[in-house]
C-alpha cells in the first residue's frame, strides 16, 4: 500500500514539472516575439532617419 502512494506522488511531481516547463517555454517565446517586434521597430526608425538625411 505504501508503494502506491509513492507512485502517485512521483506522478504528480512529474506532471508539475511538465506544466512548469510548458509555461516557461511559452514565456520565452513571448519574450522573443517582443524582442523581434522592438528590433523591427528600431530598424524602421533607422531607415526613416537615413532617408530623411538623404533627402536633405
- Quick: pLDDT tens for 7-16: 999 999 999 9
Cell numbers 517586434 label which residue?
Answer: 37
CA distances 25 to 15, 22, 49, Å, are 15, 5, 36
Whether the predicted pLDDT of 18 surpasses 80 = yes
Measured in residues, the chain has a length of 56
Q: What's the pTM value of the predicted model, to 2 decimals?
A: 0.52
Whether the predicted pLDDT of 31 surpasses 90 = no
Beta-carbon-side half-sphere exposure of residue 9 (alpha carbons within 13 Å): 5
E strand map for 1-56: none
Chain-wide mean pLDDT for the chain?
76
Amino acid at each position: 500500500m505504501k508503494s502506491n502512494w509513492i507512485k502517485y506522488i512521483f506522478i504528480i511531481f512529474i506532471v508539475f514539472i511538465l506544466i512548469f516547463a510548458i509555461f516557461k517555454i511559452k514565456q520565452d517565446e513571448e519574450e522573443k516575439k517582443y524582442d523581434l517586434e522592438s528590433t523591427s521597430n528600431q530598424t524602421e526608425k533607422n531607415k526613416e532617419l537615413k532617408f530623411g538625411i538623404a533627402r536633405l
